[in-house]
Structure 1
Amino acid sequence: MRKKYFFFDIDGTLAYGITGIILPETIATIETLQKNGHFVAIATGRLQCSAIPQCKILGIQNMVSDGGNALTLHHKIIHMHPLPKQPILDLIAELEHHQIPWAYTAENKTIRHTKYVKFKELAGESNMDTLVHSSIEIASIEQFYKIYIYHPNLKKLNSLPSLTGLPQIHYNNNMLLIEPTHKEKGIFNMMEYLKADLADVVVFGDGINDLSMFRPEWFSIAMGNAIEILKQKADFVTKRCEDGGITYACQRFGWI
């Protein structure tokens, strides 16, 4: 059997529901893929540390995280690049000018910092802890990994000039998340690091931030619960996540 290099999204692909349920059969499938000699990695927009719990459950040692900006191989971080600093500083200056609530993550920890007391309440559910500071010395922040912006009208927020060119995801109806959105770059970098053939890559995804990693260079599988535009771009559409879509696809193509 030819070795494949699998990259799995987490939410809606490996896990489903608000609590992130992972099916026992999905765990067994990941284990079998690795026993069969395949390379298995997570490909996520999450901060590297935020995906570690899922890696532990699944027995996965490798990761493309931070939307493609970070690589982890055998539990070791190979690199972890922050967002471009000057455009972020320009954005923060504009947010401050308009008194728009914002927060940031500056290290590989599930912590976001803000000076807005009600930011956690405004932001809604999150896997990040929120630390409120009386003031923030922006010039002293060495790097930014994520920026969180609250606004009751995201369409109006998107008119800010400083947002142009910055990677962004609508986290919910009132929250804009500035984070890397090029998982494919992380996959390219991982495959170059491993000196492996791109034609042997297989990706699984379901959401808008998976579009970039559905590439013609490799094989792309959309979950049955995926957004329609991703299904149209996929080489194969499997069953829904909660119906064992990963196991179904891996059995169908003889990988397990």
Structure 2
Amino acid sequence: MKAVVRYPIRLLLSDMDGTLLGPDHSLSPRTVEAVEALRAAGVFFSLATGRPPRAMRQQIEALGVDIPTAAFNGGTLVNPDGSYLVTHYIPREAAVITLELLSRHEEVEVWVFADNHWLLRNPHGTMVPREQHALGYAPTVVDDFTAYLDRIDKIVGASGNGQLLIDLESVLQPLVAEQALASRSQRSYLDITAMQANKGEALLTLAKYLGVPLEQTAAIGDGGNDPAMFHRAGLAIAMGQAEEVVKRQADVVTGSNSEDGAAQAIERFILVSR
């Protein structure tokens, strides 16, 4: 664990689900007020999430985010006007390997994000209603994913069997090494993205874009895809409900997302430092 940074933070990059959003995927008034206070203090604020760009619009508007945001775990950086600053697709070979492996397991629902759509073969999967509620739009049902193999932003293996996803992560990562990354964004989701599509690279790109030194950046999150930005940031903050392996890679731990932990962190570790 690094020593806690003692100088003012100029950029905060925040995860969304499990961090900025409560268990019901809503923004609390306290969180909105904390982000407003950040921006009033001259601190840049942005989002880094496994979600697709179209599933971030409501939160971007509610929080007044006016700088690029990172979707698909950093695979796509989106300008405030909706245009893309950076895009990374999963290489075709890695996509084929991933889809073949995940499809072997009946307990795993396989989702593909491409062409601004959420694609799946089985619309009746038990995880679908939860994801549709979180994203705010319905999936597109396809017979297979072949037509999209060259332009896939993200593949997700969704399952209520968390241990199975842990096992699949350990099996899959060596198979797609140097082409793609497999990480659990939440206990029920195994995300596969391009190698360059990680939140650490997103933070680096965003900091350079804004002219902010990395030592003056902070990152906050709760999932297995968040330590990538923890390792880049000057200050890394883990949510209270995060797994221990995530907490150990952060500088400090705040409250859970059911306790407005993100707002607590902003108030305690960032605004106070200014």
- CA RMSD in angstroms comes to 3.3
**Per-residue deviation, 1:13:** 1.2
Aligned to 2:89: 82
* Structure 2 gap ranges (5+): 1-6
- Are the counterparts in 1 of residues 204 and 232 from structure 2 also a CA contact under 8 Å? no
Aligned to 1:120: 124
Equivalent residues, number = 249
CA distance in 1, matches of 2:268, 2:145: 55
**Per-residue deviation, 1:10:** 0.8
Under a length normalisation based on structure 2, what TM-score does the superposition of the two structures give?
A: 0.75
Aligned to 1:73: 79
Alignment-mate amino acid for residue 70 of structure 1: T
Aligned to 2:237: 221
Correspondences of 1:101-120 after superposition (within 5 Å):
102-109=110-117, 111-114=118-121, 118-120=122-124
- Are the counterparts in 2 of residues 87 and 162 from structure 1 also a CA contact under 8 Å? no
Select the residue among 118, 129, 146 that pairs with 2:154. Answer: 146
CA distance in 2, matches of 1:26, 1:43: 16
Greater shift after overlay, 236-245 or 31-40?
236-245
Q: Go from structure 1 to structure 2 and tell me whether the alpha carbon gap of 1:163 and 1:221 turns closer, same or farther (over 3 Å shift).
A: same
Q: Go from structure 1 to structure 2 and tell me whether the alpha carbon gap of 1:196 and 1:93 turns closer, same or farther (over 3 Å shift).
A: same
Select the residue among 35, 47, 57 that pairs with 1:42. Answer: 47
- Are the counterparts in 2 of residues 102 and 119 from structure 1 also a CA contact under 8 Å? no
Aligned to 2:249: 233
**Per-residue deviation, 1:249:** 2.6
Q: Go from structure 1 to structure 2 and tell me whether the alpha carbon gap of 1:172 and 1:3 turns closer, same or farther (over 3 Å shift).
A: closer
- Are the counterparts in 1 of residues 185 and 223 from structure 2 also a CA contact under 8 Å? no
**1:132 aligned to 2:175?**
no
Alignment-mate amino acid for residue 38 of structure 1: V
Q: Go from structure 1 to structure 2 and tell me whether the alpha carbon gap of 1:126 and 1:142 turns closer, same or farther (over 3 Å shift).
A: same
Cα deviation digits, residues 17-53 of structure 1 (max 9, x gap): 1x21322011011011111111100111211222222
CA distance in 1, matches of 2:64, 2:228: 26
Under a length normalisation based on structure 1, what TM-score does the superposition of the two structures give?
A: 0.80
Aligned to 1:10: 16
CA distance in 2, matches of 1:217, 1:170: 20
Aligned to 1:25: 30
Correspondences of 1:117-196 after superposition (within 5 Å):
118-121=122-125, 123-124=127-128, 125-127=130-132, 129-133=138-142, 135-136=143-144, 138-139=146-147, 141-149=149-157, 155=167, 159=171, 163-165=175-177, 166-170=180-184, 176-180=190-194, 182-196=198-212
Percent identity of the aligned residues? 24
* Structure 1 gap ranges (5+): none
